[in-house]
Amino acid sequence: MKLSVIIPVFNEAASIREIIDRVLATELVQEIVIVDDGSSDGTRDLLSEMDGQDGIRVILQERNQGKGVAVWKGIQSAIGDVLLIQDADLEYDPRDYPLLLKPIREGLADVVYGSRFLGGPHRVVMYWHMVANKMLTFMTNILYNTILTDMETGYKVFKRNVIEGMTIHARRFDFEPEFTAKILKRNFRIFEVPITFNPRDYSEGKKIKLKDAFEAVWTLLKYRFID
């Protein structure tokens, strides 16, 4: 099973080397596809040094287009049998990869979500952000008749066949609800596993905003009723 890790990046010079080291340390990854979404803080210079080493492939977007665009570009470029989305900001811990991959390895799942709300270790911060996430997940469960605990998680792992014939239109953080809506409507087997979560707050560079929650609501409603 060849694992490709997709890392969307925008202005993460402070953490990009560390997250790459952590991913490589798992010794589970055959390919790392990094999509830089128009960084202007020196991230691109660091990435140019890594390109071609240790299975790392760097894609540079000319301008900032949004996380959703970067993720989808990485997905389309990856060649692995299984794809895993990894944020570059150190909120998610690659040491959870074995747990995330286990349901797929055992033939139980086509998609695995790493849930921040299943009791894994986590930093105690950002209460209202947690509330917004749980409300969006609750809405997802009602609209799509499922029992997810964390729709908005950044840890999504899936077999290549899951994206065959799929088109993602999301440009920003609406990738999460669009992808979730489409795999639920296609009846893929989804498992959730608990993960470690170390969120940064806005003073530390967190990028998602309140407007993204409203965009997520619209996305969930839209794809419930259209293909």
pLDDT of residue 1 exceeding 90: no
Mean pLDDT within 120-144: 89
- The model's pLDDT over 19-72, given as tens digits with 9 standing for 90+, comes to 999 999 999 999 999 999 999 999 999 999 999 999 999 999 989 999 999 999
In this prediction, residue 32 carries a pLDDT of 98
Which H or E run contains 182?
Answer: helix 175-185
In this prediction, residue 227 carries a pLDDT of 73
pLDDT of residue 210 exceeding 70: no
Q: Is there a contact between 167 and 86 (Cβ–Cβ < 8 Å)? A: no
Percent of the chain with pLDDT over 90: 83
Which residues is 122 bridged to in the sheet? 197
In this prediction, residue 212 carries a pLDDT of 76
Q: Please, which pLDDT band fits residue 206 given cuts at 50, 70 and 90?
A: low
In this prediction, residue 123 carries a pLDDT of 82
Q: Among 29, 10, 13, which residue's Cα sits nearest to residue 95?
A: 29
pLDDT of residue 183 exceeding 70: yes
pLDDT of residue 128 exceeding 60: yes
Domain holding 175: CATH number? 3.90.550.10
Mean pLDDT within 94-119: 97
Domain count for the chain: 1
- The model's pLDDT over 215-227, given as tens digits with 9 standing for 90+, comes to 999 999 999 998 7
pLDDT of residue 97 exceeding 90: yes
Name 41's Cβ contacts closer than 8 Å, sequence gap at least 6: 11, 12, 13
Mean pLDDT within 92-106: 98
Q: What is the pTM (predicted TM-score) of this model?
A: 0.92
In this prediction, residue 120 carries a pLDDT of 87
Q: Look up tokens 């299984």; give the residue.
A: 82
Higher pLDDT, 207 or 123: 123
Name 128's Cβ contacts closer than 8 Å, sequence gap at least 6: none
Q: Indicate the average pLDDT of the chain.
A: 93
Which residue range is the domain that position 186 belongs to?
Answer: 3-225
Q: Please, which pLDDT band fits residue 203 given cuts at 50, 70 and 90?
A: low
- The model's pLDDT over 147-181, given as tens digits with 9 standing for 90+, comes to 999 999 999 999 999 999 999 999 988 999 999 99
